Amino acid sequence: MLVLVAPGQGAQTPGFLTPWLDLPGAADRIASWSDAIGLDLAHYGTHADADAIRDTAVAQPLLVAAGLLSASALGTGPLAADAAGAPGAVAGHSVGEITAAAFAGVLDDTSALTLVRRRGLAMADAAAITPTGMSALLGGDPETTIPHLEKLGLTPANVNGAGQIVAAGTLEQLAALAEDKPEGVRKVVALKVAGAFHTRHMAPAVDALAQAAEALTPADPRLTYVSNKDGKAVETGAEVLQRLVGQVANPVRWDLCMETFEKLGVTALLEVCPGGTLTGLAKRALPGVKTLALKTPDDLDAARALIAEHGA
């Protein structure tokens, strides 16, 4: 069984979209999406520097656009429930959940990009209220690490499995964490993000996103959609949309998503552009599962072969 996944914020790098725009029709598609959301996706994906694409309001729509573009380059199979090569499940990490919602047919591409544009702007505004950030903890036991974080006033914003938890909170709280690591944690790495995503600090963004969601008409998923909230498959489009709204202020449970993949019988995991992060986690948490990350169009042939072998 194939699982198709989409990465979250932080996966982007300067110029990562450049080779994808050489594919037939890709530049026109990106231009159309750019006009629809009022953001020059081609510029930010090709010429902008690391600081420019770190901006939450830019990074989020850029990642969703890249995921949709790279998946479409694979052909119709991965995105059609009744086609050869259809995945057994789809999921995304954080903002990648919106990409996955489009894969599952809950939102069309333009609606997904409109929603993520509003999400990015709202989360950037929320992040500007209080100086906050996020740090990744490598190693350690969640049963020890999470109480330690809570003692410092931090939130385990991403419980990613494979020995990785991301803590989020104020800069002062993160500085205290760097000086006082939980037992068993090998390393604390400050992440280059603009705020404490998936925590109470994002509460103002929830209301803004809820208003944007009211204008959308979601369809029920045509593929199994696995949610960050609790790793469960969601059966209705209305609930998918409701979860997308609430998730900006609640922890990402990617560990539970991977547990669900295992229960479903996953044999291969394909990560859309800019892939790498989620395949890395899967290699450690899902031994024996074949993984492939779409980084450039050079990876498309290998991805199609993986789909042919493991898709429905």
Model pLDDT, residue 275? 95
Q: Is the CATH code 3.40.366.10 the one for domain 2-127+200-310?
A: yes
Length of the chain: 312
Say which DSSP state 252 is in.
B
How far the first Cα of the chain sits from its last, in Å, is 7
Distance CA 81, CA 182 (A): 44
Compute how many other C-beta atoms are within 10 angstroms of the C-beta atom of residue 262: 13
Distance CA 87, CA 68 (A): 15
User: SS3 letters for 160-191?
Assistant: EECCEEEEEEEHHHHHHHHHCCCCCEEEEEEC
Distance CA 166, CA 288 (A): 25
Model pLDDT, residue 32? 98
Model pLDDT, residue 150? 96
Model pLDDT, residue 192? 81
Spell out a b/e string for 86-95, using b for 16 or more CB atoms within 10 Å of the CB, else e.
Answer: bbbbbbbbbb
Q: How far is CA 45 from CA 39, 61, 66, 131, in A?
A: 11, 11, 9, 27
Q: Which residue in the list 94, 111, 135, 227 is annotated as catalytic?
A: 94
* 32 in catalytic set: no
Model pLDDT, residue 9? 93
Please state the domain extents for the chain.
2-127+200-310, 132-190
Q: Pick out the chain residues at pLDDT < 50.
A: none
Distance CA 295, CA 286 (A): 21
* 198 in catalytic set: yes
Fold identical between 2-127+200-310 and 132-190? no
How big is the CA angle at 157 (ends 246 and 137), to the nearest 5 degrees? 165
Give the CATH H-level superfamily of domain 132-190. Malonyl-CoA ACP transacylase, ACP-binding (3.30.70.250)
Q: Which residue in the list 93, 198, 201, 310 is annotated as catalytic?
A: 198
Model pLDDT, residue 81? 60
Kindly report the pTM of this predicted structure: 0.95
Contact 12, 59 (CB under 8 A): yes
User: Which amino acid is it at 53?
Assistant: I
User: Which amino acid is it at 135?
Assistant: S
Model pLDDT, residue 76? 61
Distance CA 117, CA 32 (A): 14
Distance CA 8, CA 17 (A): 15
Distance CA 261, CA 263 (A): 5
Model pLDDT, residue 298? 98
